[in-house]
Amino acid sequence: MTYGQKIQLDLPAEYQNLPNVTLALSFKDNAKVKVNASDSLTTLVARAVTVDQATRKVSIDASQLYPTTTTSSTSGVRTPRNYLATLTATSSTGFKQVHSRLKIKVLPAQLNLADVPSTDVIPYAYGIYDNKPLAYTVDYAGLNAANTELVLEVNGRPDGKVSIAGQQVVVAAGAGDPDQKHEWTYDLLPTLTKDGYRVAYRQFRVVLMPKPKFFFGTYYSDYNLTILENRVVLQLGKAYTSKAPTFYPTKYQGSYTLKAVERNGTPFTDTAKLFSVDATTGKVSVLANTGLPAGEYKVTLQTQATTGLVLETALTLVMEL
């Protein structure tokens, strides 16, 4: 079972209509150990596993247990490989008593992150160096948070720049590469604990990086040199297709959309659909026409990087007779 899960087990059909049979649970096979400040292992299992005489069902509430083979950070006690319960059926009409032994294994539950897509086994969140903190809200995914504590484990070499504040994982302003020139990854494990036992967690990674470069022109990464080519003079009415914009690093390149067109600083309504952008390459095209007046047309492109970051850039087309 998973921590927080509740299930019911039906007894075999032949036991459903036997009024002279009494069911009882025993937990004496569990080790004699105290698992928290007030409960022995036997008490803990007895609270989680119950039997209903009327319905002939055994109920197991894993939220009353701790994940198995888990050590408490506060007491040092380790839970067993299995929790044990023995169900006994006793007949009042002389039939032989029978037993059934239950072994219960409990796995930690999985937390969610409200601000991070969770389609991957280990989700990634991305941020750019802008000297602002980042915050990611932990979703308990329906678990009862009473008497629990949310803590943060950081894999690798923690630098003290990531912490828990309430129900959020907070990446401090100035985290990552001190020079803000290179990508920096934090491997994080927000963990829900109860009496020191890890009952739920979710691993995710935060990648900090310089803002991607997105413009019309050329970028020489070896020299960090940018040459802008975002203003082009055209003959009015002629068809035109631009070069593809530069996006760097290319591994984060996403698709492109046309966000807006302005003429001489004023919004332009392109009713004839003369302006377009190739969603894959980002190339801007203008159809041959006789309807556009002369002027400066500012075409604004938008792209959503694979990291989820939305960026914009513009190409100005100066149309002259």
Are residues 196 and 222 located together in one domain of the fold? no
Count Cα neighbours of 147 within 13 Å in the Cβ-side half-sphere. Answer: 9
pLDDT of residue 93: 84
Average pLDDT over residues 53-75: 95
Question: CATH number for the domain including 96?
Answer: 2.60.40
CA distances from 167 to 2, 31, 83 (A): 22, 36, 31
SS (H, E, C) 188-251: EEEEEEECCEEEEECCEEEEEECCCEEECEEEECCCCEEEECCEEEEECCCCEECCCCEEECHH
How many C-beta neighbours within 10 Å does residue 137 have?
Answer: 13
pLDDT in tens, 152-165: 999 998 899 999 99
Are residues 138 and 181 located together in one domain of the fold? yes
pLDDT of residue 13: 81
Q: Establish if 1 belongs to a structural domain.
A: no
Total-model pTM = 0.79
pLDDT band at 50 (very low <50, low <70, confident <90, very high): very high
Range of the domain at 274: 213-320
Count Cα neighbours of 217 within 13 Å in the Cβ-side half-sphere. Answer: 17
Average pLDDT over residues 35-45: 96
pLDDT in tens, 211-240: 999 999 999 988 889 999 999 999 999 999
Are residues 164 and 217 located together in one domain of the fold? no
Total tally of structural domains belonging to the chain:
3
Q: Give the whole-number percent of the chain exceeding pLDDT 90.
A: 84
What is the C-alpha to C-alpha distance for residues 251 and 215, in angstroms, rounded to an integer? 16
299 contacts 317 by C-beta, under 8 angstroms? yes
Structure tokens, 5: 């899960």
pLDDT of residue 229: 96
